[in-house]
Amino acid sequence: MADSYDAVAYLLDRANIHDTVAKLGACVDGGSWASVPDEVFAADLRIDYTEVFPGEPYVTTGAKQVAEWAGMLKLADKSQHVLSGILVDLPQPGSSVKPPTVTTATANVMASLRRDAAPGGPITQSGVSLKLIPSMGWLTRTCEPGVLRL
């Protein structure tokens, strides 16, 4: 690992994290589930829905989370998840700045689900703020792997 965090590493980290977050929505709606565990998620995930649903946070694998989401979305005839306002919290580069090993990314998510036979109308919409804590291990620099938390 480099001793300092330069502008090229900062820009590359920011672009890679932004693209990874954006890829989640594209894969979900495009049905590209097979790529999510390896290209978007870390091996282990801590899922926390407690701000919108009752229950407790839990730890699962990327493959199990994908299977759960895919099963839920089979109930909808169509879905659209729009991720916007993706902000990546990285330190500004500098010769005295150490490369980060963990960072936070946030995004606004607007979900629209269509189910033609749904009572009360075919479309349900909801919006949430998604907080992700990606490990830098899956980026171009070699760091300790971590957990992606939703």
| 26 pLDDT above the threshold of 50 | yes
Residues in the chain: 150
Give φ, ψ of 98 to 5 degrees: -75, 145
Q: Is residue 30 part of a domain?
A: yes
Please write the tens of the pLDDT for every residue from 1-13: 568 999 999 999 9
CA–CA separation, 1 and 98 (whole Å) = 9
Residue type, 96: S
How many folded domains does the chain comprise?
1
Q: Is residue 146 part of a domain?
A: no
Q: Is residue 84 part of a domain?
A: yes
| 144 pLDDT above the threshold of 70 | no
Helix (H, G, I), strand (E, B) or coil at 22: helix
Q: Is residue 21 part of a domain?
A: yes
Which pLDDT value is given to residue 15? 92
Tokens 């590359």 belong to 12
> Which of 28, 121, 115 is CA-nearest to residue 76?
115
Expressed as residue numbers, the domain containing 83 is 7-138
Cα 96 to the chain's mean position, in Å?
30
What's the CATH number where 15 sits? 3.10.450.50
Determine whether 60 is exposed, middle or buried from the number of CB atoms within 10 Å of its CB (0-12, 13-18, 19+): middle
Which pLDDT value is given to residue 48? 78
Q: Is residue 89 part of a domain?
A: yes
Query: pTM score, two decimals?
Result: 0.77
Q: Is residue 1 part of a domain?
A: no
Please write the tens of the pLDDT for every residue from 44-95: 787 877 777 788 888 888 899 899 989 988 988 999 989 899 999 999 999 9
CA–CA separation, 14 and 67 (whole Å) = 28
Q: Is residue 144 part of a domain?
A: no
